[in-house]
Every structure is written in C-alpha cells, then in structure tokens.
Amino acid sequence: MPTSFDISALPDLSGKTAVVTGASSGIGRATAQALASAGARVVLAVRDPEKGRDAARSMAGQTEVRHLDLARLSSVHAFAEGWDAGGIDLLINNACAVSPTLAHTADGFELQFGTGHLGHFALSILLLPHLTGRIVTVSSQAERMGTFDGDDLAWTSGGYTQTKAYNRTKLANLLFTAELQRRLTADGSPVLAAAAHPGFVATNIYAGGSRMTKLLVTLLAQTSEQGALPVLFAAVGAVPPGGFAGPSRAGHMRGAPQLINRSKAAQDPQLAAWLWSRSEELTGVSWHAAARR
C-alpha cells in the first residue's frame, strides 16, 4: 500500500550516527544530505575523499568523510578496523560500480559483483559489533532478471554484459539481506536488515547508455532526491525485518515509497545460504568470527 512518506516524515535523528557508502553523488549523496538535515551525524564513506568533501560542503548538518574503496577488501578492513566513532545506528549500503566490459576489483572479483555485493557483505559483517539499528542495502527491481549460472561468479566462461552483471548483483543484494536478517534474528540481535529499490533515477549509472536510454532518462527518470525516498523509508519507516521498499507508481519506478515484492529467486533460502557461504569463502570474512569480536 502506498505511503505518504516524504522528506518531512524523517524523525529527529539528533544523536544518531549513519554511515552511507557511495555518498559523494547520486542517491547516496541525497540520502546522506537528508539524514544530516534531520540531525544525524553522517559519515560519507567514499572511494574519492576529495569528491566526498565537495559533497559534504553542500550539506547542512554534521558530516564526516572517510575513505572506503569497496573494490579493495584491504580498504574495507581498514575502514572497519579504524572505526572509532561509537555505535552506528544506520548503515546504508549504497555504492555500486558499472562497467561495459568485464573488469575486476583489486582482489580479482568481477567489478560490479565485487563492489556492490562482496564489498558490502564484508563491510556489514565487520561493522556489526558497532551496529545498533538498521542495515539498508540498495537493490533494484532488476533483480528479477538476475541469475547465478552455477558457481561461475567471475564470468570465466564468458557471456559477460553490463546488464547481466548488474542484475546478478542486485539479486545478490536481496539474498544477502534475507540471509543477514535470518542470522540476526537467530542470534537475538536487535539490528534490522532491509533493502530498497530507488526506482528509475537519473544518476551516473546511465552516463554511458545509448541515445534511447538517455532520452528515457530525460523524460521519465526521477531525481536523486526522489530516488532516495525508498532508501530513507527503509532506514526509518515502518518496515518489517527483511523488508523491501520501492516506489509505489509506474511499476514501482516512481512515486512515494511502499513495501514491494521480490522475485521467487530472491526469496529462496537455499540460494541465499549458498551465496552467503560463497561470499564468506571469497572475502575471508566470517559471520562467526565477527560475532566474537
């Protein structure tokens, strides 16, 4: 059911701390701005600190910029190990990477999957000892077209396309959210995991698109501020554990946020458990090791 949630619905977040990845532009920047304006202390976790500082200077409220390159596990570990700012009320896993050709992270993972899923997987678990509120991961309805072809997460068998890699990553985001919530609940943790689909938003992800894509963006896309609303709703609204928020109109591509459905694959507990196990193997970050910290 559609909500009336908008920026004015944000509660007073004074005394709260939020970490937003990829906060120097697009939806991440709009989300960080909104949270800071509501009184939260917002840490912009960004790959390029100078761009992060440029973004922070335009924001009202208390902000801090910290370096985080999700395409390098060493950077993820350094960010988590260097965390010295107390509890984290909100972790917004927003950052992503796109590449028209097959590219890899510093650790050899396919770039989109390695940044958008594996980087956030490791970050979330490593920061868990500090988390007290919610972990919101930005996904997309593109997850409905996502697939996992056996165990080939690196596209070694060929067939890579930017779209296929994006869809797979967004499916991984929802599977991660579901399995993360299952584990949090089993451990009696008060932390809530949720996901958000921002809708069709005019961001840098479409910068290298076709002429038709750019025309559609011009005519139909929402602003980053509008796209941030489902993310903010998932962060502070009435969302159940493991909930998925997205726009309410135009096939969930525009409008005020509401809870939306996900694909059958995204609801598969066996697939979620398999992906979690493989993610631990690939990143070397273990749920049990983090829980003992």
263, 143 contact by CB (below 8 A): yes
55, 71 contact by CB (below 8 A): no
Take residue 177 and report the two structure tokens written for it. 């959210």
Grouping H, G, I as helix, E, B as strand and the rest as coil, residue 89 is strand
Active site amino acids: 166
Contacts of 9 (CB under 8 A, 6+ apart): 237
Per-position b or e across 74-113, b if 16+ CB within 10 A of its CB: ebbbebbeebeeeebbbbbbbbbbbbeebbebebebbbbb
- How many angstroms separate the CA atoms of 64 and 69, rounded? 16
- How many angstroms separate the CA atoms of 105 and 176, rounded? 20
Grouping H, G, I as helix, E, B as strand and the rest as coil, residue 218 is helix
Grouping H, G, I as helix, E, B as strand and the rest as coil, residue 254 is strand
